[in-house]
Amino acid sequence: MPDQSDIAEPQARVDLPDTGTQTRRAESASVFWLVVVGGVLLMLLAWLLPWFVEQTASGVGHSPMDVIVSAPTGVGWIAIWALGIGMVLLIAGVAYDAFAVNSGRVEPFRWSRIRAGIALFCAACTLLVLVLVTSRSELVFGSVSANALTDNAVWMMLAGSLLLAFAYGLRPWVTSHGGLAFTAVAFVIGGLFPLMFNQAPGFVVWGAQSAGIYVLLALGLNVVVGFAGLLDLGYAAFFAIGAYTTASMASANHGLHLPFWVLIFIGAAAAGLFGAILGAPTLRLRGDYLAIVTLGFGEIVPDMAQNNLFGATGGPNGISGVDSPAFPTHGSSLDFGIFGINPRPYYWTILVLIALVVVLLRNVERSRLGRAWIAIREDEVAASATGINTVSTKLLAFSIGASVSGFAGAFFGAMLSSVTPDNFQFAVSVTALTTVVLGGIGNITGVVVGAMLVSFVIFWVLPELQGWMGTLGKNIGVQSLGTIQYSDYKFVVYGLVLISIMLLRPSGLLPSRARKVELETGAESEPLAAVQERA
């Protein structure tokens, strides 16, 4: 019998890299850079916005730069110049910082302080312009009254410079508490968003109806694809089930008028139930086979709705006249009535729904169930031999993922006040999957960012691009820029996003911890090129 004392000491005295903390730091650093890049982009966009904006009849534009021309007081003139110079310095500083980090140089912390100072200065200048715009609009901008685009430019500038001030002023904290920093930024900016763009209700509608919905869809799909590793290509089906359930219980269609706040949970439950019904017979399948079955399901559901299933779905016209949600205080002394067509209450509602879903999913991620999902994703045979009921655990992933999209569907139906089969085509599933892949499969923060980016590009930039390009074309003398239907190219964008993310950063913009390691230590199977090189 060997000496038992040598059991306690591991024989291999290799010094393993502490990959755990390393990757945690890497993830937080990427949150820092996300905030910085977001800030710079907002500032640039604010400054460049007038390039894309139609000028008014009186010939006076809406840009902060036009203040230089038209400001009679001189204050606006100085503020704008100072802002411009500060911005150029700031962007140069950020570029140098990125360069220094990339080449591994460590610069003194005080440089970050200086950048934060410049950013605060920019914010102050912007505030001054904001005051001029709102209180003395006719003096600064001639006959133009408070204008949506000026307003947007000023708010974007303010948000961008404050983001940079936050990131650089609290750099060590942002780097060490990435998730918390991101949540703080997201909720402050997210909560104030409708107030910032109070002159551009269309943007708030986008925020609730496109960004909000796709963030929810991405969060739900991430449970299925990211946590449990089950490829679901028909996720829109559950979205449709949530929407149709809600719509038929809150419209003249069946004469039912249940309150919205009950219905979102009924919609979620219905979608979750169908998730389980679809999952039960199919989850014994693996990988590609499951993907094909879900693809089929995703096609069947809108088709059944199209064919007016049991006379309940209204055929191609869908269900219209869905009740507008009422404030929860409806009927009491504090009655604010219904949401109606004002986008703000919808926006804040979906923000609360997202917060709720994020909290619940974060809890699951770090629990018995979350570990079981990841174990199944890693090795299903080992998971079952370790005592995990793989069928019921996968079923739960399917069901929980589906019910999140049921939430989204219920909200969607109520906000649009109608649901039609066209809203739930394959493109919706593809968009949701793109957001998850882009943001970082398996990482909650990542998929939220991915969903916002994709919905911004697809549902805001592309539709608006024709107008912007038209103005730009007029300014630079290329008229043909304004004649292209840019939204026709959304599938090109999906394709480009998917190809470039797979080539450049296969684990997504903000990878989950495990995927990050996978990327750093190399994939399981070595690529052919590596083998050929050796031969």
Partner 1 sequence: MALLEVDGIVKRFGGLFAVNDVSFDVDTGQIVSMIGPNGAGKTTAFNCITGLYPLSGGDVRFKDVSLLGMQPHRITRLGISRTFQNIRLFSYMTAVDNVMVGEHCRMHAKVWDDLLHTRRARKEERAVEARALGTLRRLGLERYADVYARNLPYGLQRRLEIARALASGPTLLLLDEPAAGLNPQEKVELMGVISRLRDDGLTIFLIEHDMRVVMGISDRIVVLDYGEKIAEGTPKEVRENPRVIDAYLGSGASEGMRSA
Residues 6+ apart with CB under 8 A from 514: 374, 442
Q: Which of 73, 335, 521, 531 binds partner 1 (CB under 8 A)?
A: 521
- Count CB neighbours of 493 within 10 A: 17
- Please state, in angstroms and as integers, the Cα–Cα distance from residue 143 to each residue in 62, 129, 133, following that order: 11, 17, 12
Q: Which stretch binds partner 1 (CB under 8 A): 18-26, 51-59, 257-265, 474-482?
A: 18-26
Residue of 79, 195, 77, 82 whose CA lies nearest to 128: 79
Burial class (CB in 10 A: 0-12, 13-18, 19+), 220: buried
Nearer to partner 1 (CB atom), residue 21 or residue 135: 21
Closest separation in Å from C-beta 507 to partner 1: 11
Residue closest to 147 by CA, chosen among 199, 195, 204, 196:
199
Under the binding rule (CB under 8 A), the answer on residue 382 touching partner 1 is yes
Between residues 334 and 523, which has the closer beta carbon with respect to partner 1?
Answer: 523
- Does the footprint of partner 1 cover residue 523 (CB under 8 A)? no
| Residues between 387 and 416 with contacts to partner 1, criterion CB under 8 A | 387-390, 396, 400
Total of residues contacting partner 1 (CB under 8 A): 50
Q: Please report whether residue 367 would count as binding partner 1 according to CB under 8 A.
A: yes
Which three-class secondary structure state does DSSP give residue 257? strand
CB nearer partner 1, residue 17 or residue 328: 17
CB atoms < 10 A from the CB of 531, how many?
10
| Nearer to partner 1 among residue 17 and residue 331 (C-beta) | 17
Q: Per CB under 8 A, does 176 bind partner 1?
A: no
In the complex with partner 1, the residue whose CB is nearer, 92 or 356, is 356
| Binding of partner 1 by 134 (CB under 8 A) | no
CB of 504 to partner 1, least distance (A): 21
Query: What 3-state class would DSSP assign to 107?
Result: coil
| Interface segment toward partner 1; rule CB under 8 A; list 181-189, 196-204, 232-240, 379-387 | 379-387
- Counting beta carbons within 10 angstroms of the beta carbon of residue 322, is it exposed (0 to 12), middle (13 to 18) or buried (19 or more)? buried
From 56-64, 281-289, 386-394, 459-467, span contacting partner 1 (CB under 8 A): 386-394
- Among candidate residues 364, 34, 414, 396, the one with its CA nearest the CA of residue 189: 34
Stretch that binds partner 1, among 138-146, 211-219, 382-390, 473-481 (CB under 8 A): 382-390
Options 386, 475, 483, 500; binder of partner 1; rule CB under 8 A:
386
How many other β-carbons are positioned within 10 Å of the β-carbon of residue 205? 18
CA distances from 141 to 9, 60, 132, 220 (A): 77, 7, 9, 46
Query: Which residue in the set 335, 378, 422, 526 belongs to the binding site for partner 1 (CB under 8 A)?
Result: 378
Query: Per rule CB under 8 A, is residue 372 in the interface with partner 1?
Result: yes
Place of tokens 């950020």: 94
Question: Alpha-carbon distance 526 to 164, whole Å?
Answer: 41
CB 269 to partner 1: min, Å:
14
Q: How far is the CB of 440 from partner 1 (least distance, A)?
A: 14
Give the residue, chosen from 303, 379, 422, 526, that forms a contact with partner 1 under the rule CB under 8 A.
379
Counts of helices then strands in the chain (DSSP H, E): 24, 4
Q: How many residues does the chain have?
A: 535
Give the nearer residue to partner 1 in terms of CB position, either 154 or 264. Answer: 264
H helices present in 170-228, as ranges: 171-176, 178-196, 201-206, 213-221
Q: 242: buried, middle or exposed (CB in 10 Å: 19+, 13-18, 0-12)?
A: buried
DSSP class per residue in 295-306: HHHHHHHHHHHH
369 binds partner 1, rule: CB under 8 A: yes
Q: Name the segment binding partner 1 (CB under 8 A); options: 35-43, 197-205, 358-366, 447-455.
A: 358-366
**What is the residue type of 315?**
G
Separation of alpha carbons 359 and 351, rounded Å? 12
**The binder of partner 1 chosen from 73, 363, 479, 485 (CB under 8 A):** 363
Interatomic CA distance for residues 345 and 342, integer angstroms: 7
Nearer to partner 1, 123 or 357 (CB): 357
Beta bridge partners of 257: 250
371 scored as a contact of partner 1 (CB under 8 A): yes
Is 352 one of the binding residues for partner 1 (CB under 8 A)? no
Residue placing its CB nearer to partner 1 in the complex, 210 or 405? 405
Q: Which residue in 370, 409, 446, 470 binds partner 1 (CB under 8 A)?
A: 370
- Binder to partner 1 among 216, 374, 428, 438 (CB under 8 A)? 374
303 binds partner 1 (CB under 8 A): no
The answer to whether residue 368 forms part of the interface with partner 1 (CB under 8 A) is: yes
Under the criterion CB under 8 A, does residue 1 sit at the interface with partner 1?
yes
514 binds partner 1 (CB under 8 A): yes
Residue ranges that bind partner 1, judged by CB under 8 A? 1-4, 6-12, 14, 16-21, 360, 363-364, 366-372, 374-375, 378-379, 381-390, 396, 400, 514-515, 517-518, 521, 524
